[in-house]
A and B are shown apart, each in its own frame.
Chain A
């Protein structure tokens, strides 16, 4: 029997992670017990397998799934092995497991061959020509064909290429309109006039930046239920009228805080 390791409180789950999968753990147990892969003592191996699983306090769910699946398969085999076989010609319930273990063992051998090969091969270096080899040969010019006009044209081409790859930076100007101010402004007008035509108001403003600020302010007022908006049909005038909540100036100035 394997001893059950008590993992230290903060030690990483190393017990199972040293095995690349449940088949790897099974092969380890079979080798350790010096039993034949063709005649696995399922009861004892199953107990040891579960002992290993229990030794794990926590495990990555992805990995745990694979190990737990195998645990349930082993239990299933164990129950089958304990039952007396009904007829002689019945297949050994372990056959499929043996087949999979053999297939996995072949792969493990090949992996260990690749490992040894990798150890040596990783130490090989090859000429590094990344920096030395220039772009494919360009047609050469006869020195006599080069005149000032060609030189000027070349300069223009180079500059054009430079500008294409270096577009002018986008200038970000400070905001000139504050949504909070527009909110207070519009809310005051809605309360005073009772009805404010929004589209006419927007059309009267020439600065698109201001229009954006007003639209956002109106949406914010609607959200706070300080203002209601009405439109009779598509593209018709949108009228703003007082909503069912009274908004304080402070609420409008700090509207961003509760909108998340």
Chain B
């Protein structure tokens, strides 16, 4: 397979795939003895560069251990206008805090979340579960057997993370703020 066909087929797969596509899945789909993970990675890297220009409405990004096509954020208003979507639902401060706690300490139970926030978070957790940003991860073996929560793949995709560990260290964020405040 020549490099042009390789790039074109990866592009076609990503454009029609549902959700991020792992490199291994691309290698398997292309089914060519000369095309391994290395060749696909190289092709993807050059595609990222080729698409990242002002005249292009598509970008390539690596997220949740896979690759996908997205539109640049700057074009959001035109897309919303075309699709007739007025505004997107925002995440409340409480929702962001619950997400932050779960992302940072997962798996974690509701009582633990409540303790750290100092406020009842049951309804927020329920909303985040409905929006599929969280998932259940069994029960903790303590009195009452509370449910354990983890962030979902949707969470990684939404926040553009490859792995949960890619979240910045809160200690560093605090330190940065203290430095800039002084």
Contacts and interface: CB of A to CB of B under 8 A. Distances in A.
A66 B159 CA distance: 30
22 contacts: A20-B93, A21-B119, A22-B118, A22-B119, A24-B118, A100-B116, A104-B118, A106-B104, A106-B170, A106-B171, A106-B173, A107-B100, A107-B101, A110-B103, A111-B99, A112-B173, A118-B90, A118-B159, A121-B73, A123-B74, A125-B75, A133-B16
Interface string B86-118: 001011111011011101100000000001111
B79 interface: yes
Query: For chain B, which range describes its interface: under 10, 10 to 19, 20 to 34, or 35 or more residues?
Result: 35 or more
Contacts, number: 119
A126 B69 contact: yes
A104 B116 contact: yes
A70 interface: yes
Interface of A: 20-24, 62-63, 65-66, 70, 100, 103-115, 117-118, 120-127, 129, 133
A115 B94 CA distance: 11
B69 A106 contact: no
A37 to B, nearest CB: 11
B177 interface: yes
B167 A110 contact: yes
Contacts of B50: none
B70 interface: yes
Interface string B145-182: 00000000000001110000001101101100100000
A111 to B, nearest CB: 4
B18 interface: yes
B73 A123 contact: yes
Contacts of A109: 170, 173-174, 177
A122 B158 CA distance: 7
Interface string B73-86: 11110010000000
The prevalent SS among residues of A at the interface is helix
B135 interface: no
A110 B168 contact: yes
Nearest to A105: B174
A27 to B, nearest CB: 10
A64 B15 CA distance: 50
B71 interface: yes
B3 interface: no
Given A124-B70, A125-B71, A126-B68, A107 B18 contact: no
A103 to B, nearest CB: 6
A111 B120 contact: no
Interface string B59-76: 000000000111111111
Contacts of A23: 117-119
Residue among A103, A104, A109 facing the most chain B CB atoms (10 A cut-off): A109
Nearest to B99: A114
A106 B103 CA distance: 12
A129 B116 contact: no
Contacts of B71: 124-126
B79 A125 contact: yes
Nearest to B71: A125
Interface string B121-161: 00000000000000000000000000000000000001110
Given A104-B116, A109-B174, A110-B173, A120 B73 contact: yes
Residue among A66, A70, A111, A117 facing the most chain B CB atoms (10 A cut-off): A111
A103 B177 CA distance: 15
A63 B119 contact: yes
In the A-B complex, list the 5 residue pairs whose CB atoms are closest, starting with the nearest: A21-B119, A123-B76, A110-B100, A106-B170, A123-B73
B100 A121 contact: no
Given A20-B93, A115-B96, A66 B68 contact: no
A104 B98 CA distance: 11
A111 B97 contact: yes
